[in-house]
A and B are shown apart, each in its own frame.
Chain A
Amino acid sequence: MAVVKERRASMAERKPSFIGKESPMIIPHLAGMEDPLPEKTPEEVDVVIVGTGLIQSILAAALSWQGSHVLHIDKNEYYGDTTPTLTIEQLTQWVRNVNKGLIPFYTNAQIYVSSDKIGKNYASRDFGIDLVPKVLFAQSDMLTLLVKSRVYQYMEFMPLSNFHTFENDSFEKLTNTKQEIFTDQTIPLMTKRNLMRFLKFVLNWENYPEIWEGYSNKSMAEFLSEKFKLNQTQSSELIFSIGLCYNNDVATPQCLQRIRRYLASFDIYGAFPVLFSKYGSAGEISQGFCRSAAVGGATYKLNTALESYDPTTKIVKFSDGSKVHVSERVVVSPTQTPDPKSKNIPKQNYKIHRLVVAIEKDCKQWFGEQESATVVVFPPGSLNGENFEAVQAIIFGSNSEICPQGTNLWYLTSVEKGENGKRLLDLALKTMLKSISRESIEVDDNVVKFDNKTGSPVINEKYLKEELNELVEPKILMKCYFEQYTSTCPFSIAQPEIFKTQKKDTTDDTTNGNKDNGVIYSPMPSSEISYDGAITAAKVLYETIVGSDDDFFDVDFEDEDITTTNNNRMSYSESAITDDEGEEDDIIMKN
């Protein structure tokens, strides 16, 4: 496997362990982040985790803080496994490896890199591309855990408040707050009333079963139209852009829960429902938890693959010839299995189509004020009536630090069944490109000049031609498509039964000599756009290993004194979360 030399600065490099001169070293250097390998593998550990993806990293940190000795390895030279943040060069190599069949559960990977731009105007490592892009709800178990585990201190967050729905050939910005409903001149009076009533209801929906119970098995669209008299456009915004559902078949209670998630997240840290992490999504959070695990005592080894596990002797063998005795369990990412054909790997029945595109264009008009990201949703049927599932897109600008100035990263996801997924993503991409080019013409002063004498507009033909050319062919710097498989069906969490079946294997099936008998396979990333479900999956794994999840991240950081808190606050002043804490600190210190 060719080694990619250039990589992005790791989290540990961006935020070194030493903060200021006086403060003590609170974050030990991560073996593997700064140096590729620890000096030697320990001889005896409690748990071996193979693959440094999001769920495994949360698990590693939880186990380490609970007191288990964890050896966390990854066959790649980078962190993240199924959820890494990659440079363009690393992504190209990854695509090659998928096509060589080296990475199971990914298919049809394709990449285009503009050779006259990448490596010239932009460096490969200017881009940090996530295989699993995600947004973080302000009220969610992930955010609570990031705070509780203090992993948020390694990171920086930015708000995201603009959600767009593509409907009737245009991108509508959501009207989702009382303020917007009140001031919007286009919404009829009765509709304002209905919308507001629904928004109030949904915040406490479980308390009003008389309203929704009759719709438990009916579609949400039916519920919204019959109970709240909302029309198709409004219900589609609620279901697909606020609820971020994929299709109309989602049951009413489940959809209500998803809509509430959005609304309850509003105004927790400010007038926005979600945040995103700078420098990368799931890749960044994975790294954060790995770092936390290392502080808790886990040992890290990159460039190391699992060779085999013998459940009788409890010996794990690695590709570098080393071995370790495991007292508890071995957790393996399906992508890093020693035997891709093994029947022990849970069936990965659900396909996710992903398209990521780097474009040379500033899409500021789509972002909220001072923001650098937006979510765009194509409800079912909105792409020439062809898509049965919604296409979800997250667009990041350069302030997210995952792409250089003047460029954007667009992530598009679909769970469309069958072979239509790629075409639909391309269609959605084309629609967005057309829209952004059209909007650019409207705002570009060079195209329309005003005649000095008459004051009437004169179109500058030269500029218009250039703009129209761009409209036909906007500059795409990089475009990558792939399909990923997962055992987690859309909107569900990893099924605990998967792990239970494997547990049975450990006792019954030790004789046939499979290399992976007795290991627990962790789930592949789900299609969920937020982090919901990841912690539940990690908890289920944790419970399988420890016996209960009572002490999952039951950590007390009593050691931390005011000095370090202050320092952290100053270093991370850009983060929406630390700012908030800072304010309260001031109040406490004053009294």
Chain B
Amino acid sequence: MRFAVATFPGSNCDLDCVHAVEDVLGAPVSTVWHQQTDLDEFDAIILPGGFSYGDYLRTGALARFSPVMESVVAAAKQGKLVIGICNGFQILCEVGLLPGALMANDHLQFRCATPELVVENADTPFTQDYQSGEQIQIPIAHGEGNYYCDEQTLQELEENRQILFRYNSENPNGSTAGIAGIINRAGNVLGMMPHPERAIVDWMGSADGAKIFTSMLRNWEER
């Protein structure tokens, strides 16, 4: 399974994602400059965290126009696994692969912490190595992680079990229904504010993020 990690100008978690894939899976992984348009050789794409284009205009609003995004959209349509982490989640919402939007945290401050999450749905390519209802710890670091969608969308997300992760007790940003991560209807595009690449070995404080990567690999192997 070959992973691509897209690097936009201002991405700053791209190498962290590369290291996570290497360390957890030992799978081949490379960064892809945002102007590259050919993603055929890759089986999964990671849109990493950071401040693409300095968050100017609106988070993710400029990165969605980078040439690589057309190929990301095409890859998602083909059923390849796409995961957007933090700024990557924001870009996925902007480009329309995921519904809703990410607003400024309700307390208006940047927040870096390790909240507890609940895995809401363990029957997806990204979560199959977890148990539904499992409580896990994965760090967050964002100023704009306050997920918002209208009521109808929320209802659909709930009914289709598209909410994969929710903040457990304390909501660190005011997001609707405590949402920390969602997938698309087809189940192959995940956006999440927490950073699984920051929780892959015990010395990091938690290794709970590793199962996202192992789930993806197992899903691909079992296809």
Q: Do A and B come from one complex?
A: no
Q: Which residues of A contact B (CB under 8 A)?
A: none
